[in-house]
Structure 1
Amino acid sequence: MSPGPDFVIVLRSAVVSGRRAGMACAAGIASGVFAWAVVTALGIAGLLAASAVAFTVVKLVGAAYLVLLGVRALLAARRGEGYEPPDTSGAGARTADAAFRQGLLTNLLNPKVAVFFIALLPQFVPANASVLDHVLLAAVAATVSLVWFIVLVNLVSALRRILTAVRVRRIVDAVMGTLLVGLGIRIAVTQ
């Protein structure tokens, strides 16, 4: 629930592309949470955290991805791109697919999520836990994440009329772009 890359990307998707894209982005993040929880249960995330090289690669790729998304938002704010109402000719499906991928990649490329699950998951799983126990815990984590982001998307959707005014939209893109670039840089330089 704390504001981070996932929060920013869901917020931006919901403001820029609407409720459907926001929901798709939330589903992508929940899928990433589920994947990280499963990978942690299998011990693979521990290997990532233990390998300085692998951890650094994931960290830098994730940081670069956030910076790329931030730069795109900043360029859109500067140019005022795409501020017309979206068409209804089926382009929404492509937007939802792109939002899902953005959410998934943002979550999977964030090494802090792996560290979070490595620190948290073992506390809730008994030593003799079955595969089903691990999958159930992963599903709970993904569901909690999905529910939180659905609440966020619905709140943004309720305010969307205000948030899509051209002037407000440019400010939102500039702020979100700056936050994404800042988060990317912060992740890149964090030890």
Structure 2
Amino acid sequence: MIDTTAFSWVEFFSIAVIHFFAVASPGPDFAVVLKQCIQQGRAAAISTSVGISCGILLHVTYSLVGIGLIIKTTPWLLNILLYLAAAYLAWIGVSALRSQAHGQTQVSTTAGKPKSLTKSFMLGFITNGLNPKATLFFLSVFTVAISSDTLLAHQMIYGLYMAIATAAWFVFLSFIISHKRVRAFYELNGYIFDRTMGVVLIVMAIFLILNS
């Protein structure tokens, strides 16, 4: 008899890889952390990073509740959701593949009026938490990678991991992007992360359709 309570490291690894490419790709979250680091300082950027991670928890909660309701009440809607998720993943994957290299942009190094850490936190939370595309992305990821037999407690562990990993990533960036040379290199080569994530998302979409 299969032990359904065993933690699936395969699922966890899949979630971790997908999340890594998503969080490492330059986007609004990276932009706001960069802005905070340059204009408000490292402490503000770290506080913003924590706010972003809390926004991740908000998306994870929506995703878990939505998937649970679909599975328990109207399972046939899951197939519709799967195709919508595949279409969405393919769309953002293709969009990411179109990412182009761009030249260095001039960023003002003039520090603005310092904000409180609470305001910096809320900036990160609002930037990530109120992004509807992020909600749909996390719902799609959970639908693709997580089995309907996976315990809710394990799904919560996945979500908590993504929130902690997100915070760790942006806190790490807060320490390095204040250096001009590193920031310039990242801006010039950010398209590489976009294109890599695009390939991963398109593969996910194809896998989802073939196994639906």
Indicate the TM-score class for this superposition, using the shorter chain for normalisation. Answer: 0.5 to 0.7
- Tell me if 1:112 matches 2:141: yes
**Hey, what's the Cα distance between the residues in 2 that align with 1:28 and 1:92?**
13
Q: 1:164 to 1:63 in 2, by over 3 A?
A: same
CA offsets per residue over residues 139-186 of structure 1, 9 Å max, x none? 5543332223223333333x23xx322221121123333212331354
Residue 40 of structure 1 contacts residue 46 of structure 1 at CA under 8 Å; is this kept in 2? no
**Hey, what's the Cα distance between the residues in 2 that align with 1:164 and 1:142?**
29
Instruction: Determine which of 76, 82, 88 is the counterpart of 2:107.
Output: 82
What is the RMSD computed on CA atoms of the aligned residues? 3.9
What TM-score results when the alignment is normalised by the length of structure 1? 0.63
Q: 1:42 to 1:99 in 2, by over 3 A?
A: closer
Q: Which residue of 2 aligns with 1:30?
A: 57
- The alignment covers a number of residue pairs equal to 170
Q: 1:99 to 1:32 in 2, by over 3 A?
A: closer
Q: Which residue of 1 aligns with 2:6?
A: none
Residue identity in the other structure for 2:92: G
Q: 1:179 to 1:7 in 2, by over 3 A?
A: closer
Q: 1:168 to 1:54 in 2, by over 3 A?
A: same
Q: Which residue of 1 aligns with 2:66?
A: 39
- Tell me if 1:179 matches 2:179: no
Structure 1, unmatched stretches of 5+, are 125-133
Residue 67 of structure 2 contacts residue 143 of structure 2 at CA under 8 Å; is this kept in 1? yes
SS at match of 1:43: helix
SS at match of 2:141: helix
Q: Which residue of 2 aligns with 1:57?
A: 87
Q: 1:54 to 1:153 in 2, by over 3 A?
A: closer
Structure 2, unmatched stretches of 5+, are 1-15, 36-44, 207-212
**Hey, what's the Cα distance between the residues in 2 that align with 1:88 and 1:67?**
38
Q: Which residue of 2 aligns with 1:6?
A: 23
**Hey, what's the Cα distance between the residues in 2 that align with 1:67 and 1:48?**
30
What TM-score results when the alignment is normalised by the length of structure 2? 0.58
Larger helix proportion of the pair? 1
Q: Which residue of 1 aligns with 2:172?
A: 155
SS at match of 2:149: helix
Following superposition, the deviation at residue 5 of structure 1 comes to 0.5
CA offsets per residue over residues 91-146 of structure 1, 9 Å max, x none? 957853334445x63463253332123x2x5232xxxxxxxxx5x66655433322
Instruction: Determine which of 176, 180, 183 is the counterpart of 1:169.
Output: 183
**Hey, what's the Cα distance between the residues in 2 that align with 1:46 and 1:86?**
53
Following superposition, the deviation at residue 86 of structure 1 comes to 4.9
Residue 31 of structure 1 contacts residue 142 of structure 1 at CA under 8 Å; is this kept in 2? no
Following superposition, the deviation at residue 188 of structure 1 comes to 3.4
Give the percent of matched residue pairs that are identical in Structure 1 and Structure 2.
9
**Hey, what's the Cα distance between the residues in 2 that align with 1:86 and 1:182?**
34
